[in-house]
Amino acid sequence: MWRYVIFLGSLFFVQFANAQHVAQDTVLDMSPMDMSYLPRNYPELKSHGEVRTPPLARVIYSRPKKNGRNIFGNVVVYGRQWRMGANESTEIEFFKPVKINNKTINKGRYTISAICYEDKWTIILNKDVDTWGLYYNPKNDVIRVDVPVQHLDYSVESLAIYFDLEKTAATLNVTWDNIKVALPIRLQ
């Protein structure tokens, strides 16, 4: 019996020590990854059996924080390509074809980035996926669309990317600091 108790105690100690070691060696990401769906509450609807079809779209991105910094024109340099997030490149996936700026965008995954200016952003969808940082090959662009910058009367601490859904259209919204841009998407 004592051997069994000693064995279990040793096993518990080894597991606890391993967990502590992993926690110390793991570097926590300061910009946690997030995911937004179209429709917004798709995972909840699916969990409750209210939908049986794939979502229309989703975006996967990392959420950097403002942390008292001047974001646009400083952290995000005007006139340079920005991954619309931190760490891995931001990706958007369409589960069926959509139209952006009257161009059909096929079902599939794309990176989404922007070239920011004070009055507009050029939103870019690119075929390269599973990339990190500022990696970007313009030869793989699918579309570039200019959208106006909206100035907010409040500040958004963490970058937020989310969808609004209407009957036959959607909007991909990007807000951070005191800026908001909206990319119109027509559903087919």
Q: What is the DSSP string of 6-58?
A: HHHHHHHHHHHHHHHHHHHHPPPPSS-EEEEEESTTHHHHHHTTS--S--SEE
Q: Cis bond leading into 54, ω under 30°? A: no
Q: How far apart are CA 57 and CA 38, in angstroms?
A: 5
Token duo for residue 87: 């760490």
Q: What is the dihedral of CA 159, 149, 165, 95, to 10 degrees?
A: -70
Task: Give the H or E element holding residue 148.
Answer: strand 141-148
Is residue 14 over pLDDT 50? no
Opening angle at CA 164, ends 129 and 118, nearest 5: 70
Per-residue model confidence (pLDDT) at position 35: 94
Residue 8: pLDDT band with limits 50, 70, 90 = very low
Return the percentage of the chain with pLDDT > 70, whole number. 85
At 55-83, the pLDDT tens digits run 999 999 999 999 999 999 999 999 999 99
- Mean per-residue pLDDT of the chain: 88
